[in-house]
């Protein structure tokens, strides 16, 4: 997790100079009741399960949407996760309902550019030239 702007204990942060990031060595999630802590954990767990067991997909009788109001109940949920692996930041985006994945993409970002590895919208799949030889739709 990225550190905030607070100056206390800056010496304990892990520095990622390539991306000008200060990362927390340890993170805790805290907040008042009904502030979204459990939803955050559920979202990360959902993405992990989807990536580790893709054959199960997103199908469920229970909706995944976070219900602020009746209108939002019908809208798709969206998740974006960014990971630093080696010299790149990978950005994974997912838009879904409890019945299907609507949009999905994976990009890697270096200090000067962003390169899309793949993008899926409905049944249409676009891949980067480096992946297009390895992926068949």
pLDDT above 80 (res 86): no
Looking at residue 134, what is its pLDDT? 55
Closest CA to 118 of 137, 100, 99, 101: 137
The distance of Cα 9 from the centroid of its chain, to the nearest Å, equals 28
pLDDT above 80 (res 68): no
Under the banding of pLDDT at 50, 70 and 90, the label for residue 78 is confident
Looking at residue 105, what is its pLDDT? 94
Under the banding of pLDDT at 50, 70 and 90, the label for residue 104 is very high
Looking at residue 107, what is its pLDDT? 92
Helix/strand/coil for 78: strand
Looking at residue 87, what is its pLDDT? 74
Span 77-103, average pLDDT:
85
Q: Which two tokens stand for residue 37?
A: 């802590």
CB of 92 closer than 8 Å to CB of 106: yes
The pLDDT tens digits of the residues spanning 24-65 come to 788 888 899 988 888 888 888 888 887 788 777 666 656 555
Q: What is the Cα–Cα distance from 137 to 126, expressed in whole angstroms?
A: 9
The mean predicted confidence, pLDDT, of the chain is 79
Residue bearing the bigger pLDDT, 23 or 67:
23
Given the structure tokens 């049944």, which residue do they identify?
A: 123
CB of 127 closer than 8 Å to CB of 118: yes
Looking at residue 114, what is its pLDDT? 82
Strands (E), the chain: 14-16, 21-23, 77-85, 88-96, 101-109, 114-121, 124-127
Looking at residue 4, what is its pLDDT? 76
């Amino acid at each position: 997790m990225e550190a905030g702007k607070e100056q206390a204990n800056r010496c304990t942060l892990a520095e990622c100079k390539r991306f000008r990031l200060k990362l927390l060595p340890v993170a805790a999630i805290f907040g008042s009741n009904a502030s979204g802590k459990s939803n955050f954990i559920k979202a990360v767990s959902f993405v992990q399960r989807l990536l580790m067991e893709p054959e199960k997909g997103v199908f469920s009788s229970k909706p995944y949407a976070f219900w602020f109001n009746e209108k939002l109940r019908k809208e798709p949920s969206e998740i974006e996760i960014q990971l630093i692996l080696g010299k790149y930041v990978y950005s994974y985006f997912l838009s879904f309902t409890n019945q299907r994945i609507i949009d999905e993409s994976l990009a890697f970002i270096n200090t000067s550019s962003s390169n899309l590895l793949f993008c899926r919208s409905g049944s249409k799949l676009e891949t980067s030239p480096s992946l297009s030889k390895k992926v068949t739709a």
